[in-house]
Structure 1
Amino acid sequence: MSTSVGEAVVGVILAGGMASRMGGGDKPLFTLAGRPMLDSVLERLAPQCSRMVLSANGDPARFANYGLPVVADPVTGFVGPLAGILAGMDWAARELPAAELIATVPGDCPFLPRDLVSRLSEARRAQVADIALAASGGRTHNVVGLWPVALRDHLRQAIVAERLRKVALWTSRYRTVSVPWVEGPIDPFLNVNSPGDLEEAERLARMLES
């Protein structure tokens, strides 16, 4: 795997959601177009990154087929995606010190753009920003972003001492650039949050194959 932006970036797939609206389970392992949705996410993100990591709690054996590091939240309790971002930062700092950035995406986002990391990186540099987040359809996707590993101690403090849970409240503390993508026939950041979303994703996947 290689990054398209000329620097080491660790890709972190956030797979810690409880899928309550879909009856529970791991959404990234739900079948889409005949294979686990995680396959599609990896296929699109992995070529853009130096290393890949899965952020997920529970038994890591359920992801054994992927041969990737599985990192659990470094704080107790289900505190949401900020803990997954922190887990990715901690892994990068420990295992790949050359990586100054991590790129995070949800594990239920099967149509990610193949230029995600490069465009976020370019915008971050151009705007002299700390954090770059993707946007489409007039809204910012707060967990699809590029984050400096150097912020990990500040993030840990916010989660543990301040009990901060909302991603937008944390990013508001830093210079953050929102990078828009044109949706075209498919929103590249479509999330599969319900059975209806999965049906729509199946339709879109068939359209891409035709």
Structure 2
Amino acid sequence: MAGILGLILAGGQATRFGGGDKSRQLFHGLPLLAHVETRLRPQVDTLTLSANGDPSRFSDFEMAVLADPLHLHKAGPVAGLVAGLTYATTHGFDFVLTAPCDAPLLPSDLAERLSSALHDPHYDCARAASGDQIHPVFALWRTCILEPVLQLSTDNVRALWRLQTAIATVDVSFSASPFDPFSDADTPDDLRQLECLSQDR
């Protein structure tokens, strides 16, 4: 398969952590974003970050920072996806792999497994699933769906799962044992639990 653009979605504020960037919360002594970068970078050809505000606050990370399109400002992860698909189209990537900034245990074979599912030309998106849960943010998207995604975003589709119901999407199952690799950190308690789970990872 042709080039994959990695896109880490980091648009949310850490309100349950007292404010600031959630991606900067520490996990085993390093920012969550650093862990996600370490796991995702070997799986893609180029890695980018979806975030609004002053991009210089991420200057310690070697990746382009993509702001939401003006017409979709603060429209949630779909806005980040549009920014990523637009960047991918401009720079000649055929796929965009999305992942959130707060899932430091994401699988090291995420891109490989999702790419295999998209060998079937009938599908435009492959998303991860584990146990009885789907994970819409962990997904591989064909860049050619930019125009349909733009149209859907104009129709006020703001959630990735809603977008995925409108396009041809296939689920790819991952093991949730001994822990779910798609677990994220929405609260300080979540973060502590993830640290305990991953002590022996």
Report the TM range for the smaller structure's normalisation.
Answer: over 0.9
* SS of residue paired to 1:164: coil
Which shows bigger deviation, 11-20 or 123-132?
Answer: 123-132
2:179 corresponds to = 186
Q: Output the TM-score relative to the length of structure 2.
A: 0.94
Could you report, residue by residue, the CA deviation over 1:101-131 in whole angstroms, capped at 9, with x for unpaired residues? 0000000010011110010011122473111
2:68 corresponds to = 73
1:1-210 matched pairs, under 5 angstroms = 6-74=1-69, 75-94=71-90, 96-97=91-92, 99-126=93-120, 128-160=122-154, 162-208=155-201
- Residue identity over aligned pairs, in percent, reads 38
* SS of residue paired to 1:85: helix
**Cα shift at 1:205:** 2.9
Look up the equivalent residue of 1:119 and give its one-letter code. R
Structure-2 separation of matches of 1:33 and 1:104: 23
Structure-2 separation of matches of 1:24 and 1:122: 39
Q: Output the TM-score relative to the length of structure 1.
A: 0.91
**Cα shift at 1:168:** 1.8
Could you report, residue by residue, the CA deviation over 1:115-154 in whole angstroms, capped at 9, with x for unpaired residues? 1001001112247311100011211101110001111122
Could you report, residue by residue, the CA deviation over 1:19-41 in whole angstroms, capped at 9, with x for unpaired residues? 22222221111110011111111
Unaligned runs of 5+ in 1: 1-5
**Do 1:127 and 1:177's aligned partners in 2 also have CA atoms closer than 8 Å?**
no
Could you report, residue by residue, the CA deviation over 1:40-91 in whole angstroms, capped at 9, with x for unpaired residues? 1111110010000000000111110012100000134311111111111111
User: Following TM superposition, where does structure 1 have runs of at least 4 consecutive aligned residues deviating by more than 4 angstroms?
Assistant: none
Structure-2 separation of matches of 1:152 and 1:25: 31
Unaligned runs of 5+ in 2: none
User: What's the Cα RMSD here?
Assistant: 1.3
Q: How many residues align?
A: 200
1:3 corresponds to = none
**Cα shift at 1:180:** 0.8
* SS of residue paired to 2:112: helix
Look up the equivalent residue of 1:28 and give its one-letter code. S
Look up the equivalent residue of 2:28 and give its one-letter code. A
* SS of residue paired to 2:138: strand
